[in-house]
Amino acid sequence: MTMINVDEGKYAITIQAMKKNEDEPSAMANFLSESAIIKNQEGSLSLIITLLDAKTITGFQVENQAGEQIHAFDKQLDEEANTRDETFEIDQLTTSIVARVQYEATYQGQKIQGDEEIRLIFDEESLEKMN
Ligand code: HEM
């Protein structure tokens, strides 16, 4: 895990949801937009992710460097698209951040609830300034 330095501004970055303890894509991968936004403004760093199935993904948190779970301070639901943008204030951007997801799904007629940990992998090479 290495730090990704972010200058002032707004950037697009490619992310991937991986299993927490294995180098394999997580079951969450299809429920998360590959494109995230990082903003470094007025001394604070924020991460905006897009959850692709707002009804299924009921909760999402990211871990800070101290291992505490951070909840989004802003959530924007797009009811028509069934997506939800969540904004987190993060202490630093690293190539790998632990996250936690809660989900609800129907499987063979039964309601399934999950609460699982994953890793968000940030591709430093993809960091691209936005306007
Ligand atoms: C069709 C209904 C689903 C069933 C029956 C199901 C079942 C399971 C089971 C049995 C595990 C292993 C956990 C363990 O044994 O401790 C698991 C892991 C996991 N599930 Fe689900 N799940 C379903 C849907 C989903 C959905 C919609 C998501 C989207 C977020 C998801 C995300 C995860 C994650 C992140 C893990 C941890 C392993 C990984 O990262 O792939 N699951 N699930």
CA of 23 to the centre of ligand 1 (A): 16
- Do the domain assignments include residue 23? yes
Which domain CATH number covers 100? 2.60.40.1850
Whether 1 has a pLDDT exceeding 90, the answer reads no
Pocket-testing residue among 24, 56, 116, 119, ligand 1, by greatest number of atoms within 8 A of Cβ: 116
Range of the domain at 49: 9-129
Interatomic CA distance for residues 62 and 70, integer angstroms: 5
Count of structural domains, the chain = 1
- Do the domain assignments include residue 3? no
Interatomic CA distance for residues 79 and 26, integer angstroms: 25
Interatomic CA distance for residues 28 and 17, integer angstroms: 6
Q: Residue 131 — very low, low, confident or very high, per pLDDT cuts 50/70/90?
A: confident
Quote the pLDDT of residue 13.
98
Q: How confident is the model over 18-23, as a mean pLDDT?
A: 97
Q: What percent of the chain has pLDDT over 90?
A: 98
Interatomic CA distance for residues 126 and 45, integer angstroms: 18
- Do the domain assignments include residue 1? no
Q: Please report where in the chains the tokens 């306007």 appear, as a residue.
A: 131
Interatomic CA distance for residues 62 and 90, integer angstroms: 8
Quote the pLDDT of residue 74.
98
Average pLDDT over the chain reads 97
- Do the domain assignments include residue 4? no
Start-to-end CA span in the chain (Å): 28
CA of 61 to the centre of ligand 1 (A): 16
Note the pLDDT tens digit of each residue in 39-93: 999 999 999 999 999 999 999 999 999 999 999 999 999 999 999 999 999 999 9
Q: Where are the alpha helices (DSSP H) in the chain?
A: none
- Do the domain assignments include residue 26? yes
Query: In 3D, which of 59, 83, 82 has the Cα closest to residue 72?
Result: 59
